[in-house]
Amino acid sequence: MKDKRNIDRLLDIMAQLRTPVSGCPWDLEQNFASIAPYTIEEAYEVADAIARNDLTELRDELGDLLLQVVFHSRMAEEEGHFDFEQVAGAVSDKMIRRHPHVFGADGSDTPEKVKISWEAIKAEERATKQQDDSALSGVAVALPALSRAEKLSKRAARVGFTWAEASQVFRDLDEELDELRAEIDAGSNPDRLEDELGDVLFTVANLARMLDVDPEKALRRTNRKFEMRFRAMEQKFKDGGRDLKDCRLDEMDACWDSVKGVENAS
């Protein structure tokens, strides 16, 4: 096995893991649905390694993500649907089809022209696969909710259902916030609060689209910033011999502002 190309070696390893009786009991009991959460998790870990600019970790995480593709492909092969070779062939065909400016005579010579051509080709592909003719057809349900909101609004915008400029979104955002406040003041049940908060988040996703900002990336950045500041605040109190849970809120607020001040100065 060591003399084989690594991709063939990986395929053989997965085949052995999935071999009845002699294979791995855990691997043998898995199916597409049970493995899907791991696939999503590995994709996020790839993104995390990139965000940290850890290229050694990125290599390892890309391997873990590749394993997910091999795992799904092996299960599909066992059921007679397709195998890894067909997966690789299908995506190769797709890349050639979507890059006529490289592999054909399209003539697109700027990133803007390429993007227009790419979207047109993707629309043609969706038309051959989708079961309805909605402008929203084909937006994956399993996407993170914030990303899916941005993609749904982007599809709607392509047919003209959008604001003329980003500043107009704030009017609707204010309305949604007022509706959420009203539900809170009325002591509404969690279902009503969830509904109204969802409207606020969907409007924010629209604002991100109009500002050409990836909402998932923006929120991940803020999460990292919050974690860094919170840990710095914890450390300041720890250096003073105090535990955060024993501190007053006004003390924590003052320390938080101090941490932000040092961060901004640097």
Pick the CATH number of 130-213 from 3.20.20.10, 3.60.150.10, 1.10.287.1080, 3.40.50.300: 1.10.287.1080
On whether the CB atoms of residues 219 and 146 are closer than 8 A, the answer is yes
Q: What residue type is assigned to position 33 of the chain?
A: A
The pLDDT, as a whole number, for residue 124 is 80
Q: Tokens standing for 72?
A: 């799904």
Q: Helices 215-239 and 190-210, interaxial angle, to 10°?
A: 110
Q: What is the model's pLDDT at position 213?
A: 94
The string of pLDDT tens digits covering residues 97-123 is 988 888 887 777 788 888 888 878 877
**pLDDT for the residue numbered 113:** 84
Q: What is the pLDDT of residue 137?
A: 85
pLDDT of residue 2: 57
Report whether 180 contacts 200 (CB < 8 A). yes
pTM assigned to the model: 0.68
* 175 token code pair: 């309305």
d(CA 79, CA 60): 29
Q: Which of these, 185, 187, 224, 265, lies nearest to 53 by C-alpha position?
A: 224
User: Which residue is listed with tokens 């969830």?
Assistant: 194
Nearest Cα neighbor of 151 from 162, 140, 142 is 140
Q: Which CATH superfamily is domain 6-98 in?
A: MazG-like (1.10.287.1080)
The C-alpha torsion from 144 through 170 and 225 to 230, rounded to 10°, is: -100
Query: Cα–Cα distances in Å, from 186 out to 45, 104, 183, 193?
Result: 41, 62, 5, 10
CA angle at residue 134 from 129 to 136, to 5 degrees? 90
Residue (of 23, 3, 18, 19) closest to 67 by Cα position: 18
CB 104 within 8 A of CB 64: no
Give the number of other Cβ atoms within 10 Å of residue 172's Cβ: 16
Cα 159 to Cα 37, 152, 163, 210, 239, distances in angstroms: 33, 12, 12, 15, 57
DSSP state letter for 255: H
What pLDDT is recorded for position 236?
94
Question: Which pLDDT does position 133 carry in this prediction?
Answer: 77
Q: Which residue stretches of the chain have pLDDT < 50?
A: none
Kindly report, residue by residue over 6-38, the tens digit of the pLDDT.
999 999 999 999 999 999 999 999 999 999 999
